[in-house]
A = this chain, B = another copy of it.
Amino acid sequence: MNTTLLEKLNWRYATKVFDPSKKVSDADFEILLESLRLTPSSFGIQPWKFVVVKNLEIREQLVSHSWGQRQVADASHLIVLCRLNQMTEKTVDEYMEYTAETRGVDVSELKGFSDMLKGFVNKMDAEQLSQWMENQVYIALGNLMTSASVLDIDACPIEGFSSTEYDRVLGLEEFGLNSVVLCPVGYRGENDKYAENPKVRFLSEEVILEIS
């Protein structure tokens, strides 16, 4: 497993050309979604939703809001990772209710946790809250890309898109969401010359610092 993990992390790359004819199986896609769902987050609050765009016409339309990147339309599946567009005491209350239910305790037993979390949320301004939620979404992205590579599925993280246009086209505001980052998944096309490019990563001695 150990060598395998590194082999898979070395195998992955930001896929520029997907083979539109190759589809991720339902079983594998379910595993990807489940790995996303299991992503850890700060206080476990999961300030996100993962939007799977299945409509092909909409996906074509989204290409123009993604700097023309065809992966948005050509990959097997398009996942739009979103954060909540706001975080309030109500969000915390709902999370506490669900936690109490899951753990089989009365919600009153979580009062200390709830108060602490509300204090944490309340002391942040809107900008800080957005940043904090966005950070959590990036954990999900990291988890998704690693999980995909473990499953031999290609992926391409995309920050280069208009969040405003995605929110508009997909009606995300109505769901209380803002798009943060995209991750088309599928299988690389045979003609993707980027697949053979040597991976550019700084040497260990550059990025790992030991304090002894």
Residues of A within 8 A of B (CB): 1-2, 5-6, 9-10, 12, 14, 27-28, 31, 33-40, 42, 44, 46, 48-55, 58, 98-99, 102-104, 131, 134-136, 138-147, 150-151, 157, 159, 170, 175, 177, 181, 197-202, 204, 206-212
Contact = CB atoms under 8 A, between A and B. Distances in A.
A146 B142 contact: yes
Given A2-B151, A131-B131, A151-B1, A197 B37 contact: no
B208 A37 contact: yes
A37 B207 contact: yes
Contact of A141 (B49, B139, B175, B206): B139
A199 B50 CA distance: 19
Interface residue SS majority, chain A: helix
B40 A147 contact: no
Integer count of this chain's copies in the complex: 2
Contact of A31 (B2, B14, B28): B2
17 contacts: A1-B150, A5-B150, A9-B35, A9-B143, A33-B204, A33-B208, A34-B204, A37-B207, A42-B157, A44-B200, A46-B201, A51-B211, A98-B202, A131-B134, A135-B135, A139-B141, A146-B150
A209 B146 contact: no
